[in-house]
């Protein structure tokens, strides 16, 4: 696949309208796992996750995502859509190999990068939308729920399945989930580690719409972003902030504590053992296919 990347520091307002090519695909040598395009006509940025086979979120991918999110905002894009280059996986969530038998410094950087990416996405001033064109377990669901709008393709799964792996979804994972589904549904689902099918997710409000193709999903996201066209962006951003500031401040103030809790939990021998068994199961399943 031809990877498309962005150059930072090009203001969207300075991008001329073109008639033939309507997307701006700029490249930076450091981007490895993401493609970032800005549509010249609509001003909407699309961030495509591209780390085969399953877009598992490692340190580098999380860092790239955060950079793209910052670029979209700095360049005054009209909105941001997150999607995947895979036909079957939006993202498999956090890269379990970052947490299984980890190296001390790397695992700290990994968790810190996740916190930063999430704060950037959840607190983004511009409208954000997820075109969920594949499975979105755990960290995949975290990214989707950090966005303001979600549309999903049929016959995939989404949810916070951490308890099934023997790990725990941190409070900020849960708070974003609680923004979109009722508390009772959230508590039951997250304690069970439930992965909702697309139809179930739509039924409980975890996703807003269901469409059949990625193109339709992108179009739905564009419609959502366009729905703000008559709204003052500054007023919109401040209003959004009022809804989200509490979770953002909480994590900002407790970043170090959150990191220490994470390290304490994943370094427990029983948690390492459970993760090892889970990874082994994934590998066996993958070999059978
Ligand atoms: C109270 C305080 C709490 C403090 C915090 C404490 C703890 C930390 C919590 C951290 C929160 C964790 C969040 C996460 O996101 S954990 C990751 C959860 N993800 C999953 O459970 C998904 C696992 N994957 C799958 O179910 C499937 O891969 C799939 C996404 C449905 C796609 O299926 P398919 O297309 O059939 O692909 P394969 O299963 O065959 O996989 C291909 C290869 O990719 C490897 N793989 C898959 N997922 C991951 C992953 N998340 N990380 C690393 N590697 C992964 C899989 O093993 C295959 O590898 P192989 O080709 O080498 O065999």
Range of the domain at 71: 23-288
Q: What is the pLDDT of residue 25?
A: 62
Ligand 1 pocket residue status of 265, Cβ below 6 Å: yes
Please tell me the distance between residue 55's alpha carbon and the centre of ligand 1 in angstroms. 9
Tally of domains in the chain: 1
* Sequence-distant (≥ 6) Cβ neighbours of residue 7 within 8 angstroms: 26, 27, 28
235: CB partners within 8 A, 6+ apart: none
pLDDT at position 3 is: 34
Task: Establish whether residue 168 lines the binding site of ligand 1, counting it when its CB lies within 6 angstroms of any ligand atom.
Answer: yes
Instruction: Give phi and psi for 89, each to the nearest 5.
Output: -135, 125
Q: Specify the pLDDT at position 20.
A: 37
What is the C-alpha to C-alpha distance for residues 87 and 97, in angstroms, rounded to an integer? 23
Answer yes or no: is 100 within a domain: yes
Regarding the beta carbon of 134 and ligand 1, being less than 6 Å apart is answered no
Residue 14 lies inside a defined structural domain of this protein: no
DSSP character string of 144-194? HHHSSEEEE-TT-EEE--HHHHT----HHHHHHHHHHS-HHHHHHHHHHTP
- Does the beta carbon of 92 lie inside 6 Å of ligand 1? yes
pTM metric for this prediction: 0.92
Q: Is the peptide bond before 255 cis (omega within 30 degrees of 0)?
A: no
The alpha carbon of 209 and the centre of ligand 1 are apart by a number of angstroms equal to 25
Ligand 1 centroid distance, CA of 44 (Å):
30
The pLDDT value recorded for residue 287 is: 84
User: Given ligand 1 and candidates 282, 283, 284, 287, which is best to mutate, with the most ligand atoms within 8 Å of its CB?
Assistant: 282
- For the CA of 138, the closest atom of ligand 1 is 15
Please check whether residue 4 lies inside any domain of the structure. Answer: no
pLDDT tens-digit profile of 86-111?
999 999 999 999 999 999 999 999 99
Residue 259 in tokens: 């990191």
Q: Is the minimum distance from the CB of 96 to ligand 1 under 6 angstroms?
A: yes
Which alpha helices (H) appear in the chain, and where do they start and end? 59-74, 96-99, 104-122, 139-146, 162-165, 171-180, 183-192, 198-204, 214-226, 233-253, 255-266, 269-288
Task: Give the CATH number for residue 215.
Answer: 3.90.226.10
Ligand 1, atom 1, lies closest to the CA of 170
Q: Ligand 1 centroid to 80 CA: how many Å?
A: 25
C-alpha 165 to ligand 1 mean position (Å) = 9
112, 255 Cβ separation under 8 angstroms: yes
Query: Ligand 1 pocket check: which of 65, 92, 195 to mutate, most ligand atoms within 8 Å of Cβ?
Result: 92
Strands 44-49 and 79-84 come out as parallel
Kindly give the parts of the chain with pLDDT less than 50: 1-21, 27
CA of 42 to the centre of ligand 1 (A): 35
**Ligand 1, closest atom to CA 54?**
44
Query: What is the reported pLDDT for 7?
Result: 35
Give the per-residue pLDDT at 24: 66
Residue 8 has a pLDDT of 34
Catalytic sites, residue numbers: 94, 139, 161-162
pLDDT tens track for 196-215: 999 999 999 999 999 999 99
Q: Is residue 5 part of a domain?
A: no
pLDDT at 10: 32
Tell me, yes or no, whether 271 lies in a domain: yes
Nearest residue (by CA) to ligand 1, atom 21, is 137
Q: Are residues 96 and 275 in contact, defined by beta-carbon separation less than 8 angstroms?
A: yes
Q: Is residue 3 domain-resident?
A: no
Residue 15 lies in a domain: no
Q: Answer whether residue 6 is part of any domain.
A: no
């Amino acid at each position: 696949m031809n990877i498309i990347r962005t150059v930072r520091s090009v203001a969207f307002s300075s991008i001329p309208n073109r008639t033939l090519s309507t997307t701006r695909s700029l490249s930076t040598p450091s981007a490895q796992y993401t493609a970032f395009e800005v549509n010249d006509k609509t001003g909407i940025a699309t961030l495509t996750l591209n780390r085969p086979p399953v877009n598992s979120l490692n340190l580098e991918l999380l860092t790239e995502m955060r950079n793209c999110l910052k670029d979209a905002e700095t360049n005054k894009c009209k909105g941001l859509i997150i999607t995947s280059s895979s036909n079957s996986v939006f993202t498999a969530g956090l890269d379990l190999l970052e947490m299984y038998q980890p190296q001390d410094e790397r695992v700290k950087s990994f968790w810190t990068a996740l916190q930063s990416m999430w704060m950037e996405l959840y607190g983004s001033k511009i409208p954000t939308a997820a075109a969920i064109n594949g499975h979105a377990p755990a960290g995949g669901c975290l990214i989707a729920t950090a966005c303001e709008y979600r549309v999903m393709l049929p016959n995939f799964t989404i949810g916070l399945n951490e308890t099934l792996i023997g790990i725990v979804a941190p409070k900020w994972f849960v708070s974003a989930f609680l923004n979109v589904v009722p508390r009772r549904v959230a508590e039951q689902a997250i304690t069970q580690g439930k992965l909702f099918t697309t139809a179930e997710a739509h039924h409980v409000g975890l996703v807003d719409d269901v469409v059949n193709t990625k193109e339709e999903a992108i179009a739905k996201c564009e419609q959502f972003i366009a729905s703000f066209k008559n709204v003052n962006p500054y007023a919109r951003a401040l209003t959004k902030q009022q809804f989200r500031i509490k979770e953002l401040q909480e994590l900002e103030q407790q970043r170090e504590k959150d990191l220490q809790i994470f390290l304490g939990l994943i370094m427990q021998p029983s948690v390492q053992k459970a993760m090892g068994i889970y990874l082994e199961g994934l590998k066996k399943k993958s070999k059978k296919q």
